[in-house]
Structure 1
Amino acid sequence: MEVVGEVFLSALLEPLLGKLTSGDLLNFVRKTQVEKELNKWKRRLSEIDAVLKDADEKQITSSTVKIWLTKLRDLAYDVEDVLDEFQTEALASKVRAESQASSSTVRKLLPTCCAGLNPSAIELNMRTGSRLRDITTRLEAIAKEKNELDVGIMSEQRPKGVKKRVTTSLVKESHVCGRDNDKKAILELLMNDDASNLEYSVIPIIGMGGIGKTTLTKLVYNDESVKFDCKAWVCVSDDFDIPRITKTILQHLGSCEDNDLNVLQEKLKDRLSGKKFLIVLDDVWSNNYADWTALSLPFSAGARGSKVIITTRSEDTASKMGSVGAYTLERLSFDECLRIFTQHALDSRNFDAHLELKEIGEQIVEKCKGLPLVAETLGGLLRHKQNLEEWEDILSSEMWNLPETENGILSALRLSYSHLPSHLKQCFAYCAIFPKDYEFEEGELVSLWMAEGFLKQKRKKKHMEDLGHEYFRDLSSRSLFQRSSSESSDISRFIMHDLISDLARFVSGEICFYLDDTKKEPCSVESYAAVRHSSFTSHRHDISQRFDVFYEMKNLRTFLALPTDLSWFSPDQYLSSKVLDDLVPKL
């Protein structure tokens, strides 16, 4: 599968449309040719924005739609650049009008492309006029292409970018490794009939996609020691449909042909009345407390000691639905992942019968980083294949280049991204500028988001820092950021799992670039012009040749130096003066 990032255009177009209706900007360009051009942009972008949801979903299966979205993404960034220049000059003009004495100071702070401009100057400025006409032409072409694509206006509904996940309660226990202690802990929670006044208890199991929440729950659900009057398993997935979930529970307890929610809930209440039940709600995404309250109304009819288990990636969902503390599932050890991998690849628990594959097999298992789903997927791709070259291909391949039809990892992780609101998609994708295993502080990332202008609020009631920390906590609660195991007692540091880091790079596409010195060709030359955000890890002595590739990045917004370790920059580090004096001014 070709690695082309899923564009997060909704996070770009919404603020663009806001800027195009900005009072200060409109007043500044009023009665000029610029105003006419901006009005054209607003109309076309509004038309495109209306079909963006459908296009974003269809790009998964349509290369034509993906190319169209890529063109639109690049154009949106160019529009934003022009509007930022106009807004800068509009603000400067306003300051000049308020205080003539400060005008010279303001001019010095303006970008050279904007310095000295006023409405009449803008209209006469040949370069600006050419840029405006070029953008209008490109926008008209993109709008025309939209009409030729099979995309339309969609109503609000769950994301469809990936296939809906379906699970059952069946499990092959011989293929499960390393969850004995977790199973014991959940069983203890199930058997604990606490003395609280709750009619039933809700046990949340949380963890990132692919870590084995569903598999653990299956083990518990099918354990012979689990004694309940009735049991039900429901795969909720990303559509928290109360009638469907209620009907599925009823079908576990007997036949049910009704569809009316009131009838369904009355029947469920009657069948649960006085009985000790166990209900599993697997793969829950919704954090809507009202929906959960409505669904759970019949549960109160059950006998004390009844239990509900939910599995979710979201701490917020767990806190709203759970009645006991959430059980966080941790990653497996290397040896446990190895056993899962060899079981699926070789029908064996080790490499004893295939010693020639042992070394490369262990290197492949290192890529799993403790996720059983990855071990199972990679093992399945190599099942009954003992050609060393085929194993080397899997070892050298990026996870996103593996065959999609056989790659459950893609579906599992794409869901995590698809469920993010647009403003969080942009903030998450930006993390692609960090290398794998990079440890970052919450405040560090929030400051970067602020500097990039990613923090948007509809009502100016919060400080930007507070809003940024709210974004960060939201991403962390969705298991996209994890606390670093090497953090000190006084400073909390975070890290992204390798696959989550891969996901960020996948969805950001060419927009984010990390200068990886371990690869001779990090990305194609043709893509450099699309790069907007970049970073590099500082070396003790950074010579200018290391940065030659940056001369191709004509639209760069971020040129970020990252520390080599947690002690930040050493005072004796050296960066070539050519980088500062020649490269940086050209970026």
Structure 2
Amino acid sequence: MVAVAEIFLGALLQMLFEKLMSREVLDFARGEGVHKKLEKWSSTLRMIQAVLSDAEAKQLTSEAVKLWLADLRDLAYDVEDVLDKFYTKQIQNLLQGNSWKFTHIFMRKINSEINEITKRFDDISSREIKLGLNKIERSVPEWKRLPCSSLPDSPVVVGRDEDKKKIVELLLSDNQNKENFDVVGLVGMPGVGKTTLARLAFKDDAMKYFDIKVWVSVSDDFDYVRLTKAILNSIDSESRSFDEFSQIQNHLSKDLAGKKFLIVMDDVWNKKYELWLTLQAPFGAGAPGSKILVTTRNEDVAKLMAAVECYNLECISDDDCWKVFVQHLSNRNISEPSKLESQRENVVSKCKGLPFAAQTLGGLLRCKEIDEWKDVLENKLWTQPEHSNILSLLKLSYRYLPPHVKRCFAYCSIFPEDYEFEEKQLILLWMAEGLLQNPEGSRQMEDLGREYFRELFSRSFFQKSKKDESKYVMHDLLNDFARLVAGEIGFTLEDKVDYHKRCRIFKKVRHSAYISADLEGIHRLEVFSNFEHLRTFLPLSHSYNGRKYLTSNFTLQILPKLQYLRVLSLKGYCIRELPDSIGKLRLLRYLDLSYTDITSLPESVSDLYNLQTLLLEVCGYLNALPTGLKNLINLRHLIYSNKWHKRYDTSYPRSLKGMPSNMGKLTNLQTLSYFVVGKESSSSGVGELGPLLHLCGTLHISGLENVNGAKDAVLANLAGKDGIDVLLLEWKAKETADPDIFESLQPPLMLKELAVMNYGGSKFPAWMGNSLFSKMVKVRLKDCRRCKLLPPLGQLPLLKELTIKGLSGVESVGSEFYGDGGLNAWKIGNPLL
């Protein structure tokens, strides 16, 4: 790590102080007589934190200081593990009615860990003295939130018109190569804008010349199997999974046969000719004039691929650099043109013609008054000889983040290069890892997560994906920097680890994410049995269309060893069951079993008292949830969907027949995407939704034919759940329904979308069409065949889309249905049929 230990460790230690001082830990520690030892931990940590700045400076020249910082980081993680065990035990006692059975066994184990950690604290303290580390007042930059909630617009690309024109010409030129395709190289230094320029050319109208266009991210792992699959899936998203690589290549050859194609291979590092030779084999099937555009930092890479021409991308001018910088400032900064212009020379001298540098510096300074820029632009980091301008800029941007946001960024080091992630996905991971500080007042952790995410986005640590506007990516330089900050706590299966360093590194690994393979055998995954302190097991995939298989040795033998897991994902693997030992992963907060063949969850899942997120998307075979689900009092997000299920689509039977009893005890739930009202008395009735006051987003309630009278429907209190903006109400097809029950299911007035499916009553409720539903923009009525009159939906002031299908019982349509606006604002689909 290059001089980033102090700013990372400072954030980690601050989090530990908060946990040590929390009411839960203090109460439990006093009750068990260990509060004195924890107080010693706290005071020792404070003394250590006072010397972190000096340690940061000295680690550059002292291997002993560098090792001291690494050991301190590992100790801090182990302290957090012990504190989380305290908290978990407290929840268990609460759920068991304050039963203290087994407490002496627990305390015997935990006391051993406490004593071992205390010895390590003593060792750290004595080494600190021997190293001569001095107390230095740390200047923590003040965090000023953005003056408004707006995020920077997608920037206009500056200074690349001529470059784009030249690339387009090269792609459309005919070089009469003996092959049917030509390779064009786009070469440039990091941060100069190769990917941006390639994307501009890729989206140009002139590219309609090609029958097929494919974009594939490569990075330093030139896995020809993965790349071939990615190209094939881009051409044919419905292509089935093949076991043999030769089958994949043959299928790709058929798809390319006789067609003119453009394939952009972004960020290629490969220097092994045989790998390129294997990958390019199917390309010869294309029509003459096909092109492959390769972006790379190294011209030799493009030449190895027999590039007919290499276009070297130069830096942009100072004027253009300034324009890029200004694009990323806030309106407040731009409103003072004379002050802004006075900083021009200082700013462009730091950017060195690199668009990435201008963008990042703009993101850093947009949160500050212009008068405060001097502290950043004249920081000594710019003049340190071992730093490039880019590294200095990244370090400054990182230093000026608030402490908790620093750790959130460092966690992103687990993502592979060019991996596209969703905002909500990342926030839930941060939350599971304990990276979000406790909010004040009525604010939720998710609110803090969104704030932190927007902070990182506004400062250009994240950027919108060019392929999918709903997702985000990190620039490859920022990905590298995140790994630098995180150090050895992250590991991927693609990492090359020296054999002699494995033992030391494996003990330090806390987080692991990797791109999953079609077949995960024991030889590939056995390395995880060495990660005794692993917190994150996160296989990732660019697509979940194909079948992926996971050896049972992992779930039966390796998984039970990972006692410190906070995040566990088995998403996309063809597993049908989990072992009972899953319940022993007591610190688990995030469990993703989406896109699996799971049929049921072990009852032991109910022992995962810390679980915050349970993801069961596209689990078509799941027929039941654990009966003890009510014990998961920290559960905040329970997301389920049936296999092949799409919103409003009721053509597929749903395997989940009901919800476990006492769902109303899960009062922390914010997301409950699907609620089934079951027939059995042991199932939760719809009234169990009543206490779930924090529900938001989409709520789909099915099995409404099983509601036990209007009184139970009233108890659901849907009208009081203002966070719900999409509501789907579904009855069993061809069943009669009680109109009073439907009347009692009135949604909140802030609802935006409503769908009613298979309602078997004779009339719609009086609240449907009420003008008080002032936010309603979309309504869908499907297969409500016994209703004779349509509700007065024309009274809804903002209704934009209305779909009516299968209302064959409607006898007439009155003027109240149309309202004042007429039908011109609506989209009517298959009316009444």
Normalised by the length of structure 1, the TM-score is: 0.55
Distance 1:511 1:494 in 2: 23
Q: Is the 8 A contact 2:17 2:42 kept in 1?
A: yes
1:549 aligns to 2:542 (yes or no): no
Distance 1:408 1:469 in 2: 30
The residue identity in structure 2 corresponding to 1:577 is S
1:44 aligns to 2:107 (yes or no): no
Shift of 1:11: 2.2
In the alignment, which residue of structure 2 is the partner of 1:484? 465
Which of 361, 370, 374 aligns to 1:313? It is: 361
Distance 1:438 1:582, change over 3 A: same
Distance 1:506 1:406, change over 3 A: closer
Shift of 1:506: 0.9
Distance 1:83 1:276 in 2: 50
In the alignment, which residue of structure 1 is the partner of 2:342? 279
1:498 aligns to 2:498 (yes or no): no
Which of 547, 553, 557 aligns to 1:578? It is: 553
Q: Is the 8 A contact 1:515 1:536 kept in 2?
A: yes
Which of 507, 512, 534 aligns to 2:490? It is: 512
The residue identity in structure 2 corresponding to 1:452 is E
The residue identity in structure 1 corresponding to 2:76 is A
Distance 2:458 2:499 in 1: 35
**1:109-124, aligned counterparts within 5 Å?**
116-118=101-103, 120-123=104-107
Larger radius of gyration: 2
Shift of 1:315: 4.0
1:141 aligns to 2:116 (yes or no): no
The residue identity in structure 2 corresponding to 1:414 is K
Distance 1:433 1:469 in 2: 20
Which of 446, 449, 454 aligns to 1:468? It is: 449
Shift of 1:579: 0.9
In the alignment, which residue of structure 2 is the partner of 1:154? 137
Q: Is the 8 A contact 2:191 2:477 kept in 1?
A: no
The residue identity in structure 1 corresponding to 2:50 is A
The residue identity in structure 1 corresponding to 2:361 is R
Distance 1:585 1:443, change over 3 A: same
Q: Is the 8 A contact 2:514 2:539 kept in 1?
A: yes
In the alignment, which residue of structure 2 is the partner of 1:536? 514
Q: Is the 8 A contact 1:530 1:555 kept in 2?
A: yes
Counterpart secondary structure, 1:462: coil
**1:40-79, aligned counterparts within 5 Å?**
40-79=40-79
* Matched length: 363
- Write the deviation string for residues 72-130 of structure 1: whole angstroms up to 9, x where unpaired: 1111111111111111112333444xx46xx6xxxxxxxxxxx9543x5555x1x3222
Shift of 1:447: 1.3
Distance 1:520 1:47, change over 3 A: closer
Shift of 1:40: 1.4
Distance 1:155 1:502, change over 3 A: closer
Shift of 1:221: 11
Distance 1:276 1:575 in 2: 60
Shift of 1:69: 1.1
The residue identity in structure 2 corresponding to 1:464 is M
Q: Is the 8 A contact 1:5 1:505 kept in 2?
A: no
1:6 aligns to 2:69 (yes or no): no
Shift of 1:41: 1.0
Distance 2:74 2:450 in 1: 29
Counterpart secondary structure, 1:534: strand
In the alignment, which residue of structure 2 is the partner of 1:24? 24
Shift of 1:513: 1.1
Shift of 1:585: 0.8
- Write the deviation string for residues 5-31 of structure 1: whole angstroms up to 9, x where unpaired: 736112221221222222232222326
Shift of 1:276: 12
Normalised by the length of structure 2, the TM-score is: 0.39
Counterpart secondary structure, 2:35: helix
Counterpart secondary structure, 1:420: coil
Distance 2:68 2:443 in 1: 37
Shift of 1:452: 1.0
Distance 1:277 1:81 in 2: 48
Distance 1:122 1:68, change over 3 A: same
- Write the deviation string for residues 317-369 of structure 1: whole angstroms up to 9, x where unpaired: 437769xxxxxxxxxxxxxxxxxxxxxxxxxxxxxxxxxxxxxxxxxxxxxxx
The residue identity in structure 1 corresponding to 2:559 is V
Distance 1:532 1:526 in 2: 13
Counterpart secondary structure, 2:5: coil
Distance 1:69 1:216, change over 3 A: same
In the alignment, which residue of structure 1 is the partner of 2:595? none
Which of 397, 411, 414 aligns to 1:416? It is: 397
Which of 132, 140, 156 aligns to 2:114? It is: 132
**1:40-439, aligned counterparts within 5 Å?**
40-96=40-96, 99=97, 116-118=101-103, 120-123=104-107, 125=108, 127-148=109-130, 149-156=132-139, 179=159, 218-219=318-319, 278-281=341-344, 313-315=361-363, 317-318=365-366, 405=386, 407-439=388-420
Q: Is the 8 A contact 1:434 1:514 kept in 2?
A: no
Distance 1:279 1:568 in 2: 52
Distance 1:276 1:425 in 2: 30
Distance 1:513 1:279, change over 3 A: same
- Write the deviation string for residues 529-585 of structure 1: whole angstroms up to 9, x where unpaired: 11011112111111111012212111111111111x1x3363x21111111111111
Distance 1:438 1:180 in 2: 26
Distance 1:319 1:525, change over 3 A: closer
Can you give the 5+ residue segments of structure 2 that lack an aligned partner in the other structure? 143-157, 164-189, 194-314, 323-336, 349-357, 371-383, 563-833
Q: Is the 8 A contact 2:360 2:461 kept in 1?
A: no
Distance 1:95 1:421, change over 3 A: same
- Write the deviation string for residues 262-289 of structure 1: whole angstroms up to 9, x where unpaired: xxxxxxxxxx9xx99952346679xxxx
User: Which has the higher mean CA deviation after the structures are superposed, 516-525 or 541-550?
Assistant: 516-525
Distance 1:442 1:512, change over 3 A: same
Which of 548, 555, 561 aligns to 2:539? It is: 561
Shift of 1:524: 3.2
Distance 2:345 2:362 in 1: 13
Q: What's the % identity of the aligned pairs? A: 40
In the alignment, which residue of structure 2 is the partner of 1:340? none
The residue identity in structure 1 corresponding to 2:123 is A
Distance 1:415 1:518 in 2: 29
Counterpart secondary structure, 1:560: strand
In the alignment, which residue of structure 1 is the partner of 2:685? none
Distance 2:423 2:31 in 1: 46
Distance 1:320 1:417 in 2: 15
Counterpart secondary structure, 2:342: strand
Can you give the 5+ residue segments of structure 1 that lack an aligned partner in the other structure? 104-114, 160-177, 184-208, 223-271, 286-309, 323-402
Distance 1:281 1:430, change over 3 A: same
What do you get for the CA RMSD once the two structures are aligned? Answer: 3.9
Larger relative CO (CA 8 A, sep 6+): 1 or 2?
1
Q: Is the 8 A contact 2:511 2:537 kept in 1?
A: yes
Shift of 1:467: 1.4
